Amino acid sequence: MNKMIPFERSFAAHPKSQYWNYERNIGKPSDYALNSHKKCWFDCNKCGHCFDSIIKNINRGNAWCTYCHNLKLCNNDTCSTCFEKSFASHPKSQFWSNKNILQPRQIFKNTHSKYWFNCLCGHAFEIIIHNISIGDRWCSYCSIPCQKLCKDDTCTSCFEKSFASIENSKYLTNKNINPRDIIKGSEKIYTFYCNKCNNDFDMRINCVKRSNWCSFCIHKTESKFYEETIPIYPSIARQFKASWCKNNKSTFKLPYDFVIEDKNIIIELDGLGHFVQVSNWPAPKITHARDLYKMKCANENGYSIIRILQEDVWKNKFDWLQELIKMIEKITIDNIVQNVYICKNNEYNNFESELFIA
């Protein structure tokens, strides 16, 4: 402080100089230039905290009290201001875990850092503090719907929330998957083995939870078709999927009802929903567009398509099986990719014309 600084260029000319802490600073405001890089102490006029700041930053209006700007919490346990800003003021702080190095009073209740808690359900879990204070979130094991399962095989709570508690979980085809690791409300699709018809089928876990089961057993017309055609075509398979036919908006492969792989023939058994609005089905235009898309994919990959009506098969309105055999023989002899429609009332009139427009 050897050189005299003109008053107008010293910090004494700044309005904040009145909050100068004479006990903790060396010298007076007039001893420091307005653009000094020195850190000095000040007494906040709003919250009463003593804080240090670079004089240059104060002069430029970029900084003032670190406590008022929620950059720091004091260590005074009697300070109600900092207590209210800290996580200690939140009722969930009582579940604070000893795994944490810091205490609730030492962190802001809106921090985006993760900390550990001990839930009343017996699980320890880690969560972002902000999500508790603002998002009203809590234990991922207790949440509804459940978000996480523990690895403790003796935990009855997580067992009941897992797919292992569902009887049909034993029919998962992939034995490397542990049902105890799957939340029974999951929307993920897995492959199951049907103990009644011996077919494999795909289904969402939450659908199995709701007692839904084998699509082959439920779809009676498909079962009838399969049972009557398999003695003639032993290679016929149900729910054929290929990597070259996927949903445009997802990675899911779109299924075809039947395939005779050694003849490169796909058979689609069409219900009423392919032509008119049926409850729980998309609009007919959407269904029809998907049918056309699947046909194009199949044709481009060397597969012919045969379409036949469910009602004709189920009610035996004509000798559909003999007509099917004739069409399969025709496609085999012609040895070219083609689409065939088996019906008696021109139900498929629009399919072929729209196929090349779609």
Give the integer Cα–Cα distance in Å for 258 and 161: 36
Judge whether residue 93 has pLDDT over 90: yes
Give the span between the Cα atoms of 89 and 134, in whole angstroms. 13
pLDDT at 217 over 90: no
List CB contacts of 350: < 8 A, sequence separation 6 or more. none
Query: Which helix (H) or strand (E) element contains residue 116?
Result: strand 114-118
Q: Supply 118's token pair.
A: 């001990």
Shared domain check, 232 and 306? yes
Pairing type for strands 265-270 and 304-309 reads parallel
pLDDT of amino acid 355: 53
The range of the structural domain enclosing residue 272 comes to 219-355
**Residue 64 within a domain:** no
Residue 65 in any domain: the answer is: no
3-state secondary structure of 268: strand
What is the count of structural domains for the chain?
Answer: 4
Tell me whether residue 294 is in a domain: yes
Q: Using CA atoms, how far apart are residues 235 and 243, in angstroms rounded to an integer?
A: 20
pLDDT at 358: 43
pLDDT at 357 over 80: no
Query: Which CATH number does the domain housing residue 322 bear?
Result: 3.40.960.10
Residue 292 and residue 250 in one domain: yes
Is residue 244 in a domain?
A: yes
pLDDT at 229 over 50: yes
Q: Look at residue 138 and tell me if it is in a domain.
A: no
Closest CA to 237 of 252, 221, 218, 257: 257
Q: CA–CA separation, 66 vs 19, rounded Å?
A: 14
What pLDDT was estimated at residue 220? 82
Same domain, yes or no, for 242 and 291?
yes
Q: In this structure, are residues 12 and 25 in contact, taking their beta carbons and an 8 Å threshold? A: no
Return the pLDDT at 352. 64
Q: Are 293 and 186 in the same domain?
A: no
Whether the predicted pLDDT of 142 surpasses 80: yes
Chain mean pLDDT for the chain: 90
Any residues with CB less than 8 A from the CB of 94 and at least 6 apart, and which?
none
In a domain, 82, yes or no: no
Over residues 115-130, the pLDDT tens digits come to 999 999 999 999 999 9
**Residue pLDDT, tens place only, 316-344:** 999 999 999 999 999 999 999 999 999 99
For the stretch 39-89, pLDDT in tens is 999 999 889 899 999 999 999 887 889 999 999 999 998 999 999 999 999
Let me know if residue 80 belongs to a domain.
no
pLDDT band for 279, please (50, 70, 90 cuts).
low
Same domain assignment for residues 19 and 95: no
Residue 70 covered by a domain: no
What is the pTM assigned to this prediction?
A: 0.58
Q: Are residues 248 and 316 in the same domain?
A: yes
What would the DSSP string read from start to end of 178-206?
Answer: -GGGSBTT---EEEEE-TTT--EEEEEHH
Instruction: State whether 278 and 306 are in the same domain.
Output: yes
Q: Are residues 223 and 332 located together in one domain of the fold? A: yes
Do 269 and 304 reside in the same domain of the chain?
yes
User: Both 175 and 256 in a single domain?
Assistant: no
Let me know whether 246 and 120 are in one domain.
no
CA 86 to CA 72: how far, in whole Å? 10
From 216, 248, 265, the end of a domain falls on 216
CB 1 within 8 A of CB 20: no
Determine the residue type at 165: S
Residue 271: what pLDDT? 83
Q: How far is CA 275 from CA 118, 281, 348, in A?
A: 57, 11, 9
Per-residue confidence band for 280, with pLDDT thresholds at 50, 70 and 90: low
Residues 107 and 93 in one domain: yes
- Per-residue pLDDT tens digits for 22-32: 999 999 999 99
